[in-house]
Amino acid sequence: MANTVGHIIAVASGKGGVGKSTVTANLALAMAARGKRVGVLDADIYGPSQAHMLGVDPQTRPDMIDDKTMRPVDAHGLRVMSIAFLVDVTTPMVWRGPMASTAFQQLYNQTQWGELDYLFIDMPPGTGDIQLTLAQKVPVSGAVIVTTPQDIALLDAERGIEMFRKVHVPVLGIVENMSFHTCSCCGHQEAIFGEGGGQRIAERYNAPVLGRLPLALSVREQMDKGVPPVIAAPDQPAAQHFASIVAQLDEACQAQPEASGPTIGFS
Ligand SMILES: Nc1ncnc2c1ncn2[C@@H]1O[C@H](COP(=O)(O)OP(=O)(O)OP(=O)(O)O)[C@@H](O)[C@H]1O
């Protein structure tokens, strides 16, 4: 079966721990809720978390089709591939950059994705070998940059945006995560990591802020349980923010020429 993917979206952050994997999982589920066929490639080779976040048993191994290709694992209707399905996740990956890049390419090329409307790629943090490989080998429609409003995260996010610009990958927009916290007792909203940071870099780089997500205990709990907010609590604000973000991404991608839809070959 040929692999045809309508649009590939890389979800990236400069800094680690800002919620890039959380955002990837929820964007994928929210896009699937729009009736799209969606895949997720966990390219965070050194710290894969999609399997856990999408509630896949860590012992799960993909079915092999032949000695080169494998079937993605189903998670809440998404087609998912991660290094976590191939190794023991408690063992640290002590690989140099080129080895990690090769692993990334194999996961991408040797998975039988089938026909997908969208493939979301959860990138490792930073601007290293895997980012370069992505830019050179994968026909990405664009990148979504995840950041918190904190200065130190914004600096790294700017470096990420600069890198994607250098390698001619369009930045589709910025998702500001952990933007505010609403007190569960009195309803008071507090901007724990500062205010307006996402907007500032959006203006500097002429890219839209796609959404501002709350810092919420329920989000952390749902992700830990492997049932992300988009499916655990679709009527709650977090899920509605994700629905709004994917509507914008869908529109931006549909506006791109059809010819940009890649075919993934086995190699
Ligand atoms: N909006 C949020 N509200 C509450 N908790 C959140 C939110 N976003 C992320 N988290 C939690 O913060 C932690 C880090 O999130 P996540 O793993 O998605 O970050 P990351 O940027 O992908 O990290 P890494 O750099 O390790 O890949 C997780 O425990 C996640 O559940």
Is residue 263, in this structure, part of any structural domain at all?
A: no
Ligand 1, pocket-test mutation among 11, 13, 21, 49, most atoms within 8 A of CB: 21
User: Does residue 55 sit within a domain?
Assistant: yes
Best CA proximity match to 112, nearest among 80, 155, 136: 80
Residue 265 inside a domain? The answer is no
What is the length of the chain? 267
What is the per-residue pLDDT for 1? Answer: 64
Report whether 15 belongs to an annotated binding site: yes
How far does the centroid of ligand 1 lie from the alpha carbon of residue 4, in Å?
30
**pTM metric for this prediction:** 0.93
The pLDDT of residue 180: 92
- In short, whether 176's Cβ falls inside 6 Å of ligand 1 is no
Q: What pLDDT is recorded for position 14?
A: 84
What is the mean pLDDT of each successive set of 10 residues along the chain, which is 267 residues long?
Answer: 88 91 98 98 91 93 91 97 85 76 91 96 87 88 94 87 90 95 88 88 92 95 98 95 98 76 48
Quick check: is 266 in a domain? no
Instruction: Tell me which residue range forms the domain holding 112.
Output: 3-258
Q: How far is CA 175 from the centre of its chain?
A: 11
CB-ligand 1 contact for 22 (6 Å cutoff):
yes
Euclidean distance between CA atoms 65 and 70, whole angstroms: 5
Cβ within 8 Å of residue 126, ≥6 positions away: 14, 16, 156, 160
| Residue 154, pLDDT score | 87
* CA proximity to 27, closest of 45, 4, 9: 9
Q: Do the domain assignments include residue 267?
A: no
| Residue 55, phi-psi category: left (phi > 0), alpha (psi -120 to 50), beta (remainder) | left
Specify the residue with its C-alpha closest to ligand 1, atom 5: 220
Q: What is the pLDDT of residue 264?
A: 55
Q: Is 213 inside a domain boundary? A: yes
The reply to whether 264 falls in a domain is no
Rg of the chain over CA atoms, in angstroms?
17
Report the domain count for the chain: 1
> Pick from 255, 229, 259, 232: which is nearest to 19 by CA?
229
In a domain, 173, yes or no: yes
Query: Residue 240's domain is classified under what CATH number?
Result: 3.40.50.300
Of 42, 223, 230, 242, best ligand 1 pocket probe by most atoms within 8 Å of the beta carbon: 223
Does 17 contact ligand 1 (Cβ within 6 A)?
yes
